[in-house]
Copies of this chain bind each other. A is one copy, B any other.
């Protein structure tokens, strides 16, 4: 028979991403996790080495997915302005489409034990991703297409704008994802004083797909019983 190997593991990851994004890693207990998937806390440990290893797994796969998707998107694209446009629209789209995963990815780095192998690995992955942005900005400046006061400032400001999307975007809001991306690309190109051009946005089908990302709207992890008030 089909072993359906990681079915339970996937359900655990789905619940973990949701709870970590909602309450934060430190405020989520293994027992919370078990309750969300209809298991005892002991059962969780048959699928997960430790709470921190679970977080590290989620963050590694998320970060690698983003890097791989970015590499694919940027491959056929030469001009710095186009590359910057793709970086902006893809980062925005990933944060809009996978808000829970990206919230954990962006905000829980501090929950990994500093100096641990997992911590260092995630930092290296994050640096590898940011290198794409640094390169695009530096190329545009070297080419004379971009005029920026401070490349680091510009990069961090634009990335903040994109990553913030996970905090507010709703698919049933007033703007479609395509409109959001186009708008952000326009703002980004204005920020580097590049001439407004034919708008290039990312092909959404090339974006990473996280199997554990819950559906966008309301998703309630409680299986059959009400959750305790979490007084503490």
Q: Which residues of A contact B (CB under 8 A)?
A: 22-24, 26-27, 107, 110-111, 113, 149-150, 152-154, 156-157, 159-161, 163-165, 167-168, 173-175, 179-180, 183-184, 186-187, 190-191, 229-231
Contact = CB atoms under 8 A, between A and B. Distances in A.
Contacts of A229: 113
Nearest to A28: B26
Contacts of A24: 24, 26, 110-111
Q: Return the 3 tightest CB-CB contacts between A and B, nearest first.
A: A160-B164, A26-B27, A26-B26
Nearest to A157: B161
A187 B184 CA distance: 11
Given A152-B174, A161-B161, 4 more contacts: A150-B175, A153-B174, A156-B167, A186-B191
B183 A153 contact: yes
Contacts of A23: 26, 110
Contacts of A175: 149-150, 153
Given A26-B27, A150-B179, A157 B184 contact: yes
A186 to B, nearest CB: 8
A149 B163 CA distance: 20
A23 B111 CA distance: 7
Contacts of A231: 113
B111 A179 contact: no
A3 to B, nearest CB: 34
